[in-house]
Chain A
């Protein structure tokens, strides 16, 4: 359904994409993972035809994005990262406008709007202006617009950014259902657990390159050790130095096959320094440990990346 071959894109001296290649089969969900500035949104924009790549080729359903843009757009549903809505117009008016431009009309338009709005709990908000919606409702409407064409390839760029728990759950359920019905989905996100929930295949994007590609299970298997993260008030004690895999001035990460046993030993050997422990976290083998192994960095639960110094 989607083939990306050696795509490169620079903004002046800044390399956003550096020879990215990937392919997706019908019904596959691809989780595009990476920190801010990794190139995820640029890649989504190139696939959507919003940006021209400097090099390489993108094909959607066999159509070249650069050579057959209209054919490609008929196969795409896109929810860009930024919420794009007419704030002064009603929810229904927004849906009908974008639905019409997507090629729907008459009864088909009515049916499709109703179907999409129902699936995202928007029907009761039809008459409300978009600028009167909550953040989560706006995000649902934004995503609904992308779903209107019923396109075989859906590009969702951080669809749950800033969304409440209810909206996030609703969107993840919907994405899973659409994929099971055959829609191919490219899902750029900050949130590792969303990719795990969706059981998506994963492409880890780092500085414009894909540094890892595979299923969640495949990537997790590459880093099958848990790790213990200890945050200290003040400097890290010397006794932990030998075990450190990543640190900044006050935080250490220690790989551990049996984290409970390792932690018990560490606490005993730290002596008085143990009183300066601010927090201890045991991170079990997961996509997060895989990401750490690949990049030397980890995500926090809020989705913001924490970089080692």
Chain B
């Protein structure tokens, strides 16, 4: 295993930023998100879990799917430009598993989502293992771990040796190998530290038990306080719903440009489920919130073979009215007896 000093890691990142698009946790006025950096100096090193997940780089909040340019010389349909080769640095193991959850819909079942596939192809993920589970974390409840390697190309683990911070690099995929070709450091054996886990977390019940609890009055009560905003889904690394609309991009004499846009959408919001004619089969915040949990723990596992939750706990922290997905998991466990 390669072991790097902090200085070596920073030098390597500076080198990567020079040759590729490097994306890492950055502090935007007190909120942590993944942003393009020009070098290791821009990275917000001291983070537990970012406020926004790195899915923004694989499944952008807003994306042009195609552009139609209409002019005197004819009509052209233009595909969006190829995404540049990108390195996502500082990805937490839960977020990497979030990408795998999105893959289950966008890649693993035909037809694949070409737009997402291109981002995925162009991106190499360097993870940094969590030394512990933080306050709202519950990755172990949904099959993950603070040091999980799933979905990552390289995983770095922080070590303390002789009061020096070192990073042990596990190179996990071919993509990772390619990127690590110029990685500095010393090749040697190291024992990786075990992360500190949170004890006493509930057990996630299988989807059949969720199905049996669908009509419980509990779903009405937990949804009473739901504001029907979109915060939980937008911070979620595994939520992948979007809306598509054709919009005018620009209109000049002789040249009109239209764009087919897709942007994140959220099942908790009222217009999400509204259908032609104005009917809404999920008219209440309660019914929509229940859907959010059932999507994650029943529909998505049954239809796409992956849980729709990776236990990052962002929705717990973002929710203005403290709707707590871990409490919901615990309540279903209690109902199931």
- Whether both chains belong to one complex is answered with no
Residues of A within 8 A of B (CB): none
User: Which residues in B have some Cβ–Cβ distance to A below 8 Å?
Assistant: none
